[in-house]
Structure 1
Amino acid sequence: MGLRANPTQRQRRLGEELRKLREASGLSATEAGAHAGLGRAHMSHIETGRTAIPEEKLRALAKAYGCTSHPLVEGLCEMSRATGRGWWSAYKDSHNARALDLAELEAGAAAHRSFQWMYVPGLLQTADYMRCLFEGGQPDGPGAIAKYAEFRQRRQQVLTDGQPLHAIVHEAALLMKFVPDDVMRRQIEHLVKVAELPHVRIQLLPFKADINSATPGTPFTILDSRVPELSTVYVEHPVSSVFLGDREHLDQYDSAFEHLSAAALPPIALRGERESHTKRDSLQLIQHLLYTL
C-alpha cells in the first residue's frame, strides 16, 4: 500500500494522538513499534497520518503506552476504521482539502458549538444568503457559485440528523450589508424557525454585551467528540483556516465559548417557552432587527 500524499485531518489527528501517547509513555518509536511488529519508519508514517494502522496493532500500541482509558482507545479505533468516504467525496475537484475535512468532521461530531461575528454560521444559512455571499466573493462563474452553495447545504444535513448545535451569533452579523434586506429578512426568519428544533440553541451577542479583550477575534467552531480528548476546534481565517486538537487549545476555546454564552442574550425561544416577557432575550433582538429592515 502506497503512502498518502495528502492525509486528511482525521488521519493526521489519529497519528498525532498516537504520537502523544507514545511520548507520554517515554518509549521511542523503535521501542513502541516492537510491541506491535512495526518498524521505526512505519511508526513515523503512522504518526504523520501517511499510512493506516490495523486495529489490532493500534490496540497493541495503546497497551504498550499504558493507556487505560477505554473510551479513548475505542475512539482511536473508530478513527482508524473510518474510510473517509462520504457525500463530500464527490466535491474533491471543486473544494479544497480543508472544506472536505470540515465536512467529514462535522458529520462525525457528537455536537457543534460555534461563534460568528460577521456572518450567519454556515449550518444556519439560507440558500439565498449563501449564494449572495459567494457572489460577493467572486468565485469562478455561476457554476462555481451553485457548487459551493450545494456543498454548504449538504453540510446542513447534520441538523436534519439531529446533531446538537449551539450557535452564538454577534448582532453585527445580522446588520452587515453583504446581502439585500429581503434576503437578510428571510435569513433572520429562518434562524427563528431552526431555533424551534429541540437540538438547536441560538443566542445573539449584542453590541453592548459584557465581554473582554481576550475574547477570540476570529470565528470558531468546536466539534465535540463523544471522547472529549478527540474534540476539534476549527478556527476560520480568510487565508488559511486551522484545526486545533491540543488539550491546551481545547480548554482555551471551551472557556471562551462558555464566557460568550454567559454574555450573550438568552436563546431564541417561542413565547410559550420564554422565562419572561420583560427580560431581554435573543428573540426580542431578532424582532427589533426585523422591524428595522
Structure 2
Amino acid sequence: MGLRVNPSQRQQRIGLELRRLRDISGMTAAQAGQRAGIGGTHLGHMESGRTAVPSAKLHALLDAYGIESEPYIRGLLTMNDATGRGWWSDYRGDVASSAVDLAELEGTSESQGVFDMVNLPGLLQSPEYARALLESAPQGSDPRITERFLEFRLQRQEILTGDYPARYHAIIHEAAFHMGFVDPTAMRRQLAHLVEVARLPHVIIQILPFRSSRFPAMGTPFTLFHAASPELNTVYLEHDAGAVFFGDQGHLNRYNMIFERLSSVALPALMPEAERRFPTERDSFTLLQHLAYIL
C-alpha cells in the first residue's frame, strides 16, 4: 500500500501523538521501532500520518512509552480504529478538505466551545442566513456549489439534534448581529432560530456585548473540541487563508483560558423562559430582544 498523499486531520493527529509520546520518552525512532517491531523509517511514516498504524503496533508503542492512562489509551485506540467514513465522506471533492475534517471532528467530539465575532457559528445558522453568507463568498456565483455547501452546512447541524447530541457552548460577539449579510427581516428570523436552538438542554449560547470592558485581545474565531481524554482535545481556527487544527498542549491551554475568560465577561446565557418575566438584569436574551427591536 502506498503512502497517503493528503492525510486527514485525524490521521495527522494520531501521528503527532505518537511523535509527542516518543519525544517525551527520549527514544529515537529506531529504538522505539525496535521495541514495537517496526522499522524506524516506517515509524516515521506513521508519525507523519502517511501510513496506517495497526492496532497491535499502537498497543506496543504505547507500552514502550510507558503510557498507563486508560481514558487516553481508549481515546487514541478509538481514533486509530475509526475509518474516517461518515456522511461527510459524500462531500469530499465538493467542499474543502478542512471542512470535511471539521465535520468528522464535530461528529466524534464529546463537546464544543465556540467563539465568533463576525458571523454566527455555522451550527447555529438558519438556512436563510447560511445561504446569504454562502452567496457572498467567492464561489457564491455558482448556484450548484452554493447549494452543495448549504446542504453540507445544514447536515453538520444535525449533531445538535441527533440521538446522541454533543454538548455545545457558543459565545457570539454582538458585532456579528450588526453585520449586513442579510436583510433585517431575515436577521429577525435568525434571532428567533437562536432562541429555538437555545431551548435544547445541551446548548449554551452567550452574547458578548460591545459594552464589555474586559474583552480579551482576540481577533480570530475558534472552536475547542473536547474528547473523552483531555490530551486528545483540539483547537480549530478559521481565517481567510484557510483553517488550521492544533492539538499541542500550549495551544490547548491558551484557548481554554481565552474561552473561560470570554464566558466570564459575556452576558448570562440565552434562556428563552426569560420571555415570561420582566428583565431585572442584563442577559443574552434581553440583548437579543433589543437587537430584534432596532433592526
TM-score, normalisation: structure 2 = 0.96
Query: Which residue number corresponds to residue 154 of structure 2?
Result: 153
Using a 3 Å threshold, how does the CA distance of structure 1 residues 33 and 273 change in structure 2: closer, same or farther? farther
Q: How far has the Cα of 1:276 moved from its partner?
A: 8.1
Query: Which residue number corresponds to residue 244 of structure 1?
Result: 246
**Matched residues in 1 for 2:138 and 2:53: separation?**
42
Query: Which residue number corresponds to residue 194 of structure 1?
Result: 197
Q: Unaligned stretches of 5+ in structure 2?
A: none
Query: Which residue number corresponds to residue 15 of structure 2?
Result: 15
Query: Which residue number corresponds to residue 58 of structure 2?
Result: 58
Conserved 8 A contact 2:15-2:46: yes
**1:223-282 superposed Cα distances (whole Å, 9 cap, x missing partner):** 111111101000111112111111010010000000000000001102359998301100
Q: How does 1:216-227 map to 2 (within 5 A)?
A: 216-227=218-229
Deviates more, 1:90-99 or 1:258-267: 90-99
**Matched residues in 2 for 1:274 and 1:31: separation?**
67
Q: Quick one: which of 173, 178, 181 aligns to 2:176? A: 173
**1:48-81 superposed Cα distances (whole Å, 9 cap, x missing partner):** 0011111111011011011121111111111110
Query: Which residue number corresponds to residue 99 of structure 1?
Result: 99
TM-score, normalisation: structure 1 = 0.97
Query: Which residue number corresponds to residue 256 of structure 1?
Result: 258
Using a 3 Å threshold, how does the CA distance of structure 1 residues 246 and 276 change in structure 2: closer, same or farther? farther
**Matched residues in 2 for 1:198 and 1:119: separation?**
23
Query: Which residue number corresponds to residue 130 of structure 1?
Result: 130
**1:182-215 superposed Cα distances (whole Å, 9 cap, x missing partner):** 1111101100110010000000000011324x43
Conserved 8 A contact 2:279-2:286: no
Conserved 8 A contact 1:116-1:220: yes
Deviates more, 1:270-279 or 1:55-64: 270-279
Query: Which residue number corresponds to residue 294 of structure 2?
Result: 292
Q: Quick one: which of 163, 168, 171 aligns to 2:166? A: 163
**Matched residues in 2 for 1:199 and 1:270: separation?**
14
Using a 3 Å threshold, how does the CA distance of structure 1 residues 265 and 274 change in structure 2: closer, same or farther? farther
**Matched residues in 2 for 1:137 and 1:245: separation?**
29
**Matched residues in 2 for 1:185 and 1:29: separation?**
58
Pairs aligned (count): 292
The sequence identity of aligned pairs, in percent, is: 50
**Matched residues in 1 for 2:53 and 2:275: separation?**
50
**Matched residues in 1 for 2:85 and 2:13: separation?**
17
3-state SS, counterpart of residue 7 of structure 2: coil
**Matched residues in 1 for 2:276 and 2:24: separation?**
49
**1:90-145 superposed Cα distances (whole Å, 9 cap, x missing partner):** 11121111111101001101001100001110000011101101111141511111
**Matched residues in 1 for 2:195 and 2:68: separation?**
45
Q: What root-mean-square deviation, in Å, do the aligned CA atoms of Structure 1 and Structure 2 show?
A: 1.5
Query: Which residue number corresponds to residue 48 of structure 2?
Result: 48
**Matched residues in 2 for 1:277 and 1:92: separation?**
47
Matching residue's letter, 2:236? Y
Query: Which residue number corresponds to residue 208 of structure 2?
Result: 205
Matching residue's letter, 1:127? P
**Matched residues in 2 for 1:36 and 1:273: separation?**
61
Matching residue's letter, 2:161? T
**Matched residues in 2 for 1:266 and 1:207: separation?**
15
**Matched residues in 2 for 1:123 and 1:188: separation?**
14
